[in-house]
């Protein structure tokens, strides 16, 4: 059949289909230096991990032992899903013999995985949440993997990976893989945010959107209102404001990556505040909040704990948690304003009481 598309349109689609992830990374870095090649290779390995996990998820209901719990509890105190373990092992297997990284730090492992002596040691550390939102796995709803790449600093001879306990500005690259109706990989190396869609017929992630910019404002607020009575009064006042004012709508999937992706493309805010009992919140800084904060700032948005930019937070330990408000600048600032007002009133009342 003769393709009746205009030649220039046909060329555009062919060029797009040839803009694979590794080629795009080199274009981004505008370099073919060894470091650029390493980063391009790292992104390629992340894409391979995404394909392997996507394939497993797409057949999970048909494959023995793919779904359900392992019976173990991880360092987070959370029940471990079989898919958590599978995905965590995928990242280790994909990077173990790559010669690209020296450590892998995961939500599922108390300590970083050090590349065994028989593996060439690279200069990078991969921090990742292998399956974010794993409570969605057994019910076929979207889940994701979140990743962050940092440079190793020092020789880490004590194996404590203290060089990772630095703020999010130290990240070289960050991104996520969203396993939904399509598998989407979104990444940034500090030169804008770009998305790729896995074309199963090619087995390649193909460029979908370049330089994504989050709208300054959006209608969506994403929060688990089941925690309403555990929140500080400032957050409860914010939520009541959302209820009373036209133009807002609630969306919450139980998987941060899916909720974040919606907000990245359509605007709005995702809020996971601390509670009175757990003021630090639930989300982990190094491999959940910080990578997404890197992305949202690259996309022109904002990410804070409610009182401090996420990228400025210095973790005390590998699994440090922070409260999170992330998304459109105007919508994150609205959350921050309720917290600032509440602190101001509390301070004034304490001064009056003295």
Among 43, 87, 101, 256, binds ligand P6P (CB under 6 A): 256
Crossing angle for the helix pair 329-353 and 233-244, to the nearest 10 degrees: 130
What are the tokens at 114?
Answer: 């050090």
Q: Rounded to the nearest whole angstrom, what is the least distance from the CB of residue 254 to ligand P6P in the complex?
A: 5
299 part of the interface to ligand P6P, by CB under 6 A: no
Cβ closest to ligand P6P, residue 222 vs residue 328: 222
For 185, the 3-state DSSP assignment is strand
Q: Rounded to the nearest whole angstrom, what is the least distance from the CB of residue 84 to ligand P6P in the complex?
A: 10
Among 99, 180, 219, 254, binds ligand P6P (CB under 6 A): 254
> How far is it, in rounded angstroms, from Cα 280 to Cα 291?
18
For 142, the 3-state DSSP assignment is coil
Size of the site for ligand P6P (CB under 6 A): 8
> How far is it, in rounded angstroms, from Cα 139 to Cα 208?
28
Which range of residues in 55-63, 254-262, 299-307, 314-322 is near ligand P6P by CB under 6 A?
254-262
Token pair 């409260």 in the structure block, residue:
323
Q: Rounded to the nearest whole angstrom, what is the least distance from the CB of residue 127 to ligand P6P in the complex?
A: 15
For 76, the 3-state DSSP assignment is coil
> How far is it, in rounded angstroms, from Cα 118 to Cα 78?
33
275 part of the interface to ligand P6P, by CB under 6 A: no
Kindly write out the interface string for residues 191-230 of this chain, putting x where it contacts ligand P6P by CB under 6 A and - elsewhere.
---------------------------------x------
Cβ closest to ligand P6P, residue 84 vs residue 204: 84
Q: Rounded to the nearest whole angstrom, what is the least distance from the CB of residue 132 to ligand P6P in the complex?
A: 4
Kindly write out the interface string for residues 44-63 of this chain, putting x where it contacts ligand P6P by CB under 6 A and - elsewhere.
--------------------
Which range of residues in 50-58, 59-67, 252-260, 310-318 is near ligand P6P by CB under 6 A?
252-260
> How far is it, in rounded angstroms, from Cα 85 to Cα 140?
18
296 part of the interface to ligand P6P, by CB under 6 A: no
Q: Rounded to the nearest whole angstrom, what is the least distance from the CB of residue 186 to ligand P6P in the complex?
A: 15
Whether 94 and 106 have beta carbons less than 8 Å apart is answered as: no
282 part of the interface to ligand P6P, by CB under 6 A: yes
Picking from 107, 77, 50, the residue whose alpha carbon sits closest to that of residue 286 is 107
271 part of the interface to ligand P6P, by CB under 6 A: no
Beta strands in the chain, from DSSP E residues, in sequence order: 69-73, 79-81, 101-106, 113-114, 124-132, 143-151, 171-179, 183-188, 193-199, 204-209, 220-222, 249-250, 268-272, 302-304, 324-327
Cβ closest to ligand P6P, residue 78 vs residue 163: 78
Q: Rounded to the nearest whole angstrom, what is the least distance from the CB of residue 92 to ligand P6P in the complex?
A: 21
What are the tokens at 180?
Answer: 């939904």
Binding residues (CB under 6 A) for ligand P6P: these are 132-133, 224, 254-256, 282-283
């Amino acid at each position: 059949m003769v393709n009746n598309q205009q030649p220039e349109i046909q060329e555009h689609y062919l060029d797009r289909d040839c803009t694979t992830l590794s080629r795009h990374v080199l274009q981004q870095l505008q370099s073919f230096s060894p470091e650029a090649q390493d980063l391009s290779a790292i992104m390629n390995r992340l894409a391979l991990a995404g394909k392997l996990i996507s394939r497993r998820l797409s057949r999970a209901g048909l494959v023995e032992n793919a779904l359900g719990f392992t019976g173990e509890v991880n360092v987070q105190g959370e029940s471990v899903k079989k898919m958590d373990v599978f995905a965590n092992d995928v990242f280790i297997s994909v990077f173990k013999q790559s010669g690209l990284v020296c450590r892998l730090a995961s939500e599922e492992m108390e300590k970083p995985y050090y590349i065994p002596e028989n593996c060439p040691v690279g200069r990078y550390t991969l921090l990742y949440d292998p399956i974010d939102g794993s409570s969605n796995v057994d019910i076929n709803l979207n889940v994701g993997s979140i990743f962050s790449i940092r440079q190793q600093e020092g020789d880490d001879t004590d194996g404590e990976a203290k060089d990772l306990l630095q703020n999010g500005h130290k990240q070289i690259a960050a991104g996520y893989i969203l396993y939904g109706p399509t598998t989407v990989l979104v990444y940034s190396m500090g030169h804008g945010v770009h998305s790729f869609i896995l074309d199963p017929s090619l087995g390649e992630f193909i460029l979908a959107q370049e330089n994504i910019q989050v709208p300054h404002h959006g209608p969506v607020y994403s929060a688990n209102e089941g925690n309403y009575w555990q929140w500080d009064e400032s957050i409860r006042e914010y939520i009541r404001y959302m209820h009373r004012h036209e133009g807002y709508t609630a969306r919450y999937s139980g998987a941060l990556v899916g909720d974040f992706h919606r907000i990245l493309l359509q605007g709005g805010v995702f809020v996971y505040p601390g509670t009175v009992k757990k003021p630090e919140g639930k989300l982990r800084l190094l491999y959940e909040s910080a990578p997404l904060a890197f992305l949202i700032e690259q996309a022109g948005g904002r990410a804070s704990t409610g009182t401090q930019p996420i990228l400025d937070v210095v973790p005390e330990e590998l699994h440090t948690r922070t409260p999170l408000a992330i998304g459109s600048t105007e919508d994150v600032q609205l959350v921050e304003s309720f917290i600032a007002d509440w602190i101001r009133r509390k301070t004034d009342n304490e001064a009056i009481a003295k």
